[in-house]
A and B are shown apart, each in its own frame.
Chain A
Amino acid sequence: MFWTWFILLLATLPCLWLADLASDALASHSLVLFVSGAAIVAPCRRLKRWQAVLFATGVGFLFEARRPIPAGTLAFLLAGMSIFLTSNRLLLRNTPLVLRGALICNTLACTAWFTSAALRSGSWVANEPGHFLQQLLLQVSFAALLALVVFIPLALIQDATMDRAGIPPALDSP
Chain B
Amino acid sequence: MDKNRQGATASYVVLVVCVVLWMVLPAAVHRFTQEAFAEFQAPALHLAGKGRDLARYWELKSRDKEEILAASRDLARANAALELQLRRYDDVRKENLRLREMLRYNPPGDFLTVVARVAVRDSTTWWQRIVIRKGSDDGVRAGCPVIFSDRVVGKVAVAHHTTSEVDLITSPSFRCTAFLEGDEANRIVLVTGSPGRGLAAGRAKVSAIPQDYFHPVGSAPKVVTTGLGGIYPAGLVLGNLDGAERTSQDGNFKEAGLSPTRDLFSLQEVTVLVPKYPSAGELLLEDQARKRLDELR
Contacts and interface: CB of A to CB of B under 8 A. Distances in A.
B8 to A, nearest CB: 4
Nearest to A83: B11
A68 B15 contact: no
B44 A13 contact: yes
Contacts of A139: 124-125
Interface residues of B, number: 47
23 contacts: A17-B48, A21-B120, A23-B122, A29-B200, A30-B123, A30-B125, A30-B196, A32-B124, A50-B11, A61-B37, A62-B37, A65-B38, A71-B30, A72-B33, A76-B22, A80-B12, A87-B11, A114-B124, A114-B125, A124-B195, A134-B198, A135-B125, A139-B125
B151 interface: no
Interface in B193-220: 195-202
Contact of A117 (B23, B127, B165, B200): B127
A122 interface: yes
Interface in A36-79: 49-50, 53, 61-62, 64-68, 71-72, 76, 79
Interface string A116-137: 0110111010000001001100
Q: Which of A53, A68, A117 has the most CB of B within 10 A?
A: A68
A68 B123 contact: no
Contacts of A86: 8
B148 interface: no
Interface string B11-50: 1100100110011000000110111011011001000100
- Interface hub of B40, B124, B129 (most chain A Cβ within 10 A): B124
Interface residues of A, number: 44
Contacts of A118: 125-126
Given A27-B128, A71-B30, A79-B15, 5 more contacts: A32-B124, A65-B34, A120-B126, A121-B126, A124-B172
Contacts of A53: 11, 15
B291 to A, nearest CB: 26
A136 B212 CA distance: 39
A71 B34 contact: yes
Contacts of A83: 8, 11-12, 15
Contacts of A17: 41, 44, 48
Given A20-B122, A30-B201, A66-B41, A121 B173 contact: yes
Contact of A30 (B5, B12, B124): B124
B263 interface: yes
A61 B126 CA distance: 18
Contacts of A122: 172
B4 interface: yes
B157 interface: yes
Q: 3 shortest A-B CB distances, which residue pairs?
A: A87-B8, A65-B37, A27-B121
